[in-house]
Structure 1
Amino acid sequence: MRDEEGRLKPVVLISSDGGPDENPRYPKVISHAIHNFVKHDLDAIFIFTNAPGRSAFNRVERRMAPLSRELSGLILPHDSYGTHLDEQGRTKDHDLEKKNFQKAGEVLAEVWSNMVIDGHGVVAEYVEPDDSAESFIPDLPSQQWYSEHVRESQYLLQVVKCDDRACCGHMRSSIRSILSERFLIPPYPILQSSRGLYIPKPQEHDGKTFAPFLLRRSLEITPTYEGFGKLIYDLYCPSLQKDRQILLERTCQRCALYFCTKKKAKEHVNFCHKQYNTPEMHSVRPSRILTRRSNGRSREILCVVRENDDAEWLDETDVDLQLQLDETDVDLQDAYPVIGVEESLANPWSENIVH
């Protein structure tokens, strides 16, 4: 990953899992990406993930398959040093919970360390969490810097050097010869008809086939983008086609910059276009709420915003909790019940005795 001088190579591409802690929409991921971009003097950093249901194409998932197969039939007790749960299955002893978790991690490391994958031995060890590192979240730069260097979308984050050498310094690679507009051009399909090549409208696209990057870059045809100031990256994203309003709310109506959330778009407008009136931003109404946690600065809610989409962490202030509590009437602390081995293996059926 380093060049002859020992520096990190100038262009970094990271394929991440689509989970709530790793996806490129998560604010903490964005903060650390920008932090590393500046720290290592990168020309560009791209963090991308697969859409829901496409994890089979994730290289990490495929490499994890042998590790998961080795755990088939393995039971990891939650009470190796004694139970840390009360009668309701809630944690009553956090120190004991950490010891039990460490024991489970050490068992996993022992099992995996006995494996050989593709002729290479597996080295696994349990690493105790560093609370100080966990709480470190780099501060984001100004909105002006952010708007110039960062592009967000549903499954891709791009941070690229600008053309102001006083700001970013000289380019260390030839990436601009490939990305003449600095950022990756949006994906869209190109079809053949009796009248030549054409690009269908988003609502006419099957959501499965897209033209390769170099083909899109070389052909002098571009999609139409009615209602948007310019072509936004997620215009042809299949998982966002059901509600065009989402795309409009994520787009700045003044400069046409596109963001991965409505909150980010509102923040951009408030800081960069203060004189421009923006519609009132309502809290997100998720279809399901799973659990919550503290990220060191604020409380976060893990929720599914739209069905058939990945769960994601949202700031507690951005979620309409009252609606969910009224509908479900449950305590979020009990969202993930912990049960014993006997209960998990118990027969759910009762005998129907006929007299």
Structure 2
Amino acid sequence: MATLSGKLAGITLPIDHFGLHLNTQGKVIVPELALRNFRYAGETLCDIWRRDLIFGKKVDAQYVEELSNPFENLEFEGTDKEKAEEQKQQKRKQEKGDDSPECFVPWSWIENHCNLCQYSLDIKHCTNTSCCGPPRAKEAMDFLFLNNGFLPPVTKAKDGHFTNAIHLLEYFDLMKIPGYDFHCPSLDQTAYSRLCYSACNKYFPTLTYLMNHKKTLHPVSRGRPKGKSREQNSRVLDDFSLLPSQQKQPLFDETYLRDCMSDKE
């Protein structure tokens, strides 16, 4: 997906090709029309993807119309307040006669298990055995624990190539690598800063997600904290982003060589 971000910059996918299916609040009011519009946008996106080569190989992208919900009948742990909100939503759906299967995912569960980006969704096992089962690959889970259980951000190196996520965890200082989605050319510095919550500098792909994060984990804070927010790292990695143990060391001590040289040298 990272290679497509540059090609998608400036492209607006049509959402109302067959007619408007949203009301003024952005809610779907004509589900059948929404599905037709979504299919048209998906086919348009597939047409763009088919033009993109991966290592010189052609890409076959097809729109798959899947109406079944893989998350149907799943139950997620949440707070009492979130459970009450789920019951309210179910009641409103019953009053409207809406019988479409939709799974309610509490935001507290998303905070503990998901990392949200523009073009990716990273889901991890938590350590609570009553919530998640035992991991299938414990070694990989322990390794990803270096980055809170998630893969590091997609990062471009100074020479223009995208780095290996495993190599980032092994050799680079995680405090110096760019943030999630910071490589996307469609996000400038100002827009990216607005999507990072200033109290913890955590990034979210939309302002709605950011506000949910604020209400859940920072309910006491009001507005932005005083002072400047932490400066963002560079968009690319260089040798200064390496861990001290991985940086190139001089073959000889510079001070020692200077003491051994004569004045004429």
Normalising by structure 1, what TM-score? 0.34
Question: Greater share of helix residues, 1 or 2?
Answer: 2
Normalising by structure 2, what TM-score? 0.45
